[in-house]
A and B are shown apart, each in its own frame.
Chain A
Amino acid sequence: MSDPHLVSHTVFVWFISLMTGLVAGTWFVYDALKLWWLRKEDGRVPMIHDKRFGYSIGIFVGAIGVLGVLKYHL
């Protein structure tokens, strides 16, 4: 049975790239802003500490997403 493509390979790759880039980029900015808004909170409070750690990981994940797309195309 032949491979039933839904779209051409180029369209498929750009769809994945745009979706990943947009979501990861938005994620990066969103978590960076949330981290920034917590800058004056007391980091000794467990909930604040957890949020800061989580948003930092989110920034990493967003950056990895964007870098992967750039790596593919550059």
Chain B
Amino acid sequence: MEARIVSKINPANAVTASRFFCLPGIVWAVDNGYHQWATLFVLICGLLDKVDGLVAKIFNCRSVFGELFDAITDGICYGFCLILLAWYGWVPVIPVVAMIVLGLANSGMRIIYGKRAGRATNYKSYAMERLVAYTAYLIGFGTAQFEVDFYFWLYPPLMIVVVLHDAKRMLVDAVPGANA
């Protein structure tokens, strides 16, 4: 079956891109110490993350670029928010540094995995998908100041386990359908 060609400028990617408009609002709210407003902008950003997948389904505009753009947007938005909250002292710094370092290590391993496969591919990690959702929640807990230490300090050990597991799968185990 012939692959359907989807334009990069489509409704789903527009929704994904609109998430960046939440960032100035979050900066404004955090800078002024408005916890509820910051939480509201984080909620909108998270909601748009769910809506873009739905829009892609409705308009039948799913694409590899769209998935990549979504992942990059996740990284930028969540990474930016975590650094911002740590900068303003709303969340503990050490777990945030651990998250970013482990996240970058995971991204690097994905690049190596793609090279091992010899084609554009992505390792689907069911565990990492769950941790990414946890990260989104962490930002909300940070802005709401809701059990911040409990949620933030439990995250790095869990992420270490997942990154080690995924490292073995991406760097050591055989890649399905790899080019010889």
Q: Which residues of A contact B (CB under 8 A)?
A: 1, 3-7, 12-13, 16-17, 20, 23, 31, 46, 50-51, 53-58, 60-61, 64-65, 67-69, 71-72
The reply to whether B40 and A1 contact each other, CB–CB distance below 8 Å, is no
Residues of B near A57 (CB, < 8 A) are 126-127, 130-131, 158, 161-162
A65 lies within 8 A of B144 (CB):
no
**Cβ of A50 and Cβ of B39 under 8 Å apart?**
no
Contacts of A65 in B (CB 8 A): 137
* Number of residues of chain B lying within 8 A (CB) of chain A: 34
CB-based contact B124/A72 at 8 Å: no
Question: Can you spell out 12 A-B residue pairs with CB atoms less than 8 angstroms apart?
Answer: A3-B34, A4-B37, A6-B36, A16-B141, A20-B137, A20-B146, A50-B126, A53-B165, A57-B131, A58-B130, A61-B133, A61-B158
Contact check, A64 vs B154: say whether CB atoms are below 8 A apart. yes
- Measured between beta carbons, the chain A residues less than 8 angstroms from B173 are 46
In the complex, the chain B residue whose C-beta lies closest to that of A23 is B137
Partner of A1, one of B32, B124, B129, B162: B32
> Is the pair B131, A68 in contact by a Cβ cutoff of 8 Å?
no
* Nearest CB on A from B90, distance (A): 15
Which of B34, B131, B165, B169 is within 8 Å of A61, CB to CB? B131
Inter-chain CA distance A71–B141, complex, in Å, is: 14
Contact present for A3 and B158 (CB under 8 Å): no
Does B107 sit at the interface, judged by CB under 8 A? no
- Find chain B residues with CB under 8 A from A23 CB: 137
Which chain B residue lies CB-closest to A72?
Answer: B147
Contact with A along B106-135 (1 / 0, CB 8 A): 000000000000000000111111110110
Give the residues in chain B near A64, CB-CB below 8 Å.
134, 151, 154, 158
Q: Quick one: closest A residue to B133, CB to CB?
A: A61
- Give bound CA distance, A17 to B173, whole Å: 41
CB-CB under 8 A for A16 and B165, given A6-B36, A54-B126, A54-B127: no
> How far does the alpha carbon of A12 sit from the alpha carbon of B161 in the complex, in Å?
33
